[in-house]
Amino acid sequence: NAGVTQTPKFRILKIGQSMTLQCTQDMNHNYMYWYRQDPGMGLKLIYYSVGAGITDKGEVPNGYNVSRSTTEDFPLRLELAAPSQTSVYFCASSRVGVNTEAFFGQGTRLTVV
Amino acid sequence: DAKTTQPTSMDCAEGRAANLPCNHSTISGNEYVYWYRQIHSQGPQYIIHGLKNNETNEMASLIITEDRKSSTLILPHATLRDTAVYYCIVLDLYNQGGKLIFGQGTELSVKP
């Protein structure tokens, strides 16, 4: 199993541009998450999904959109990128139950200039 | 609102036990205590979780007080590779599902 795969690993965007961060998992997990982590800070939940077709806002959803058309994929869309969105983005997945363990991707480092 | 309180940073000598405390005084009966760690900006890694009883796995032990208002993660023989930020999270699987909310964590430095 590859686990959780994020692409790209690095990206530089200009202010006002848009992009999609890709996340896919091959563990048949029902839950998927997107987090952002600013330098020296903890992770903040952007959006999460409990299954295909269902998404919900986390702590910091403004400026982002998500979709979950399949169990495997959970892309994060940035519209009109702003410098405040410069961050490292992590995708994660888990199978919710008593033994919930979330698996994280290696992150996408995004810089908006 | 923060559900957990952890010290900002701690040091530990290599080979010694690292004891990382976490306060969760408002924990409810359905909430589990989870621990994750993040090594040098990699994606976080699950360590261990528990509800009431103490738990042990190949990585660590989790000691939860009888009133469940605090817990301690124990790394029995810390190595330099255990230097990381450690996050304590309380999670209600039944009412929150698996929605993991991270706090600031404890930055553990293991020194030679």
Instruction: Read off the pLDDT of residues B29-40 as tens digits, 9 standing for 90 and up.
Output: 888 999 999 998
- pLDDT higher than 80, residue A100: no
Q: In this structure, are residues A90 and A37 in contact, taking their beta carbons and an 8 Å threshold? A: yes
| pLDDT computed for residue B39 by the predictor | 95
Please tell me which of the candidates B43, B98, B101 has its beta carbon nearest to residue A107.
B43
| pLDDT computed for residue A99 by the predictor | 64
| pLDDT computed for residue A40 by the predictor | 85
CA distance B21 to B74: 9
- pLDDT higher than 60, residue A84: yes
Who wins on pLDDT, A98 or B83?
Answer: B83
Please tell me which of the candidates A37, A59, A94 has its beta carbon nearest to residue B98.
A94
CA distance A41 to A57: 20
Buried b (16+ CB within 10 A) or exposed e, B30-43: ebbbbbbbbeeeeb
CA distance B82 to B103: 19
Contacts of B91 in chain A (CB under 8 A): 100
**Residue matched to tokens 């301690």:** B72
- pLDDT higher than 60, residue B2: no
- pLDDT higher than 80, residue A70: yes
- pLDDT higher than 60, residue A32: yes
- pLDDT higher than 90, residue B97: no
